[in-house]
């Protein structure tokens, strides 16, 4: 008799970014379809499925993102970096629209040379 395999359900997180500077620090533009850094003390592995409800500055809409963990900053990381994960947006039209919306909010600060949560 075989035991049924259990499929892990993706974690669900909410991330409300209130300021443009925080959005700049969290946005991951080097992922092809964009991504966002989510501070968390929970352990994740690369490739884990996650579901994020993202709220952007001055925007009441919540953007649902079914992404994958593509970056992990462990506890006690060098440079006093915040522990958390980078979520890669899926390759779909909603993600492209979300990336465009984030870039619109960030505007000229996108090209800034300030440090972010990732690199």
Longest Cα separation, the chain:
61
pLDDT (mean) for 98-118: 75
Tell me the pTM: 0.82
Burial of 34 (0-12, 13-18, 19+ CB in 10 A): buried
Give per-residue pLDDT as tens, 5-22.
455 677 889 999 999 999
Q: Is the pLDDT of residue 25 over 70?
A: yes
Compute the CA torsion angle 94, 54, 84, 34 (nearest 10 deg). 30
CATH number of this structure's domain 11-106: 2.40.10.220
Token representation of residue 96 = 């492209």
Q: What residue segments make up the domains of the chain, in order of their start?
A: 11-106
Q: Is the pLDDT of residue 2 over 50?
A: no
């Amino acid at each position: 008799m075989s035991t049924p395999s259990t499929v892990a359900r993706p974690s669900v997180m909410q991330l409300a970014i209130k300021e443009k500077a925080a959005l700049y620090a969290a946005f991951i533009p080097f992922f092809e379809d964009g991504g966002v850094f989510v501070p968390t003390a929970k352990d994740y592995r690369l490739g884990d499925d996650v579901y994020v409800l993202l709220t952007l500055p001055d925007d009441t809409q919540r953007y649902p993102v079914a992404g994958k963990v593509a970056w992990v900053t462990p506890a006690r990381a060098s440079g006093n970096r915040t522990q958390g994960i980078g979520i890669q947006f899926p390759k779909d039209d909603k993600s492209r629209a979300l990336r465009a919306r984030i870039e619109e909010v960030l505007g000229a600060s996108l090209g800034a040379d300030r440090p972010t949560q990732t690199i």
